[in-house]
Amino acid sequence: MKIFPAQNKVVMITRQSNETPDDFELLGKELGEKHEVVYLCKTLDGGVKSTITAKISYGGHMMRQIYHLATARVCILDSYCPAVSILNHKKSLTVVQIWHSIGTMKKFGYTSLGKAEGRNTEIARIMRMHKNYSFAVCSGKAYAEHLAKGFGMPVEKIKIFTLPRVDLLKSKEYEKKTREKIFERYPELKERKNVLYAPTFRKNEKEMNKKVNELVKNFDFEKYNLIVKMHPLSKTKIKNTKVICDMEFSTFEMLFVADKMISDYSCVVYEAGVRGIPLYFYDFDLEKYLEARGLAIDYDELPGFKEKSGAKLVKDLEKKYDMKTLEKFIDKYVENTDDCTVKLAREIEKYLP
């Protein structure tokens, strides 16, 4: 494919979703006025355990990736991409890893190799995991070193830019439009305060299934609505019909109707923090998770109530919340929340003709 000439083109690749992520869409609109932008968004559900048909389809998609990598000036990623890391590219190609989360939480990549919730060391070596990045971006210097270690790259290759989606988190227009869509689907969410529960995915969900239902059993449905956003791969079942187990909207969108948020080791808490949503941490398996994966942040630093008991966490919802601690935490890890899309786009344009 390298015989084809490089073009004034930006290719954006994700394995996180079959739809264009908000960060890509926002960047694409900003860059598209002067440059060609190509979106390549496709997941391989099941990975090595996926069907033959799915593997063949993804193989064809990878050939598209290879062609555009050979003919683009800039590649933007929000996850690991085999075609980017394994192949040798033209020197004219700049690869920008923007990752798919704001802030830091759990260990990943090279910092979790060999752990139960991490990657296999030998497979990571063979697949050249996270190689060939020209630079990566993160929202604050406070976690730049952790990000660099996860990618196996020098910290000097980390640049401080906040993801474009933060512009949406602060947009009154986007807030109004999103709330209207959600309220049309779930009118009951207008009747009382809403608690959003979005836990981290675990490979082993035996304990999680039990603890999630413990939370539901003790929940005060007279005072609050409970919206549960499980990971798409989660098998956890909730039997209580009062719980809104939504599959139509993203966790990001649900932040615009949430009055309080329960999570654990997920970076979505940074997005909630930017919105000023009080945080609660249901850490029933903290010790096991630390052993199986590990955290990159001092867990005690997280702002909000932390409980292993669902019953106690429900009671915490009634206690006074320290908003100043939340603001201090977000200010440390998300250094910039203004004009994020424009600032990152201007940096990327430095590598375009």
Question: What ranges do the domains of the chain cover?
Answer: 9-166+338-349, 171-333
In 3-state terms the chain splits into helix, strand, coil percentages (rounded to 5) of 40, 15, 45
9-166+338-349: CATH topology is: Rossmann fold (3.40.50)
Residue scoring higher pLDDT (47 or 88): 88
Domains 9-166+338-349 and 171-333 fall in the same CATH topology? yes
Q: What is the pLDDT of residues 111-137, one digit of tens each?
A: 999 998 898 999 999 999 999 999 999
Burial of 325 (0-12, 13-18, 19+ CB in 10 A): middle
State residue 88's pLDDT score: 96
The model's pTM: 0.93
Burial of 247 (0-12, 13-18, 19+ CB in 10 A): exposed
Residue 47 pLDDT > 80: no
Q: What span, in angstroms and rounded, lies between the C-alpha atoms of 251 and 238? A: 18
Query: Is 339 strand, coil or helix?
Result: coil
- Virtual CA dihedral for 325, 326, 328, 330, nearest 10 degrees? 160
- Virtual CA dihedral for 307, 313, 318, 321, nearest 10 degrees? 30
State residue 31's pLDDT score: 97
State residue 95's pLDDT score: 98
Q: Which of 148, 78, 43, 104 is nearest to 266 (CA)?
A: 104
Q: What is the pLDDT of residues 180-209, one digit of tens each?
A: 999 999 999 999 999 999 999 888 888 999
Task: Kindly indicate whether the domain formed by 171-333 is annotated with CATH number 2.120.10.30.
Answer: no
Query: Is 61 strand, coil or helix?
Result: helix
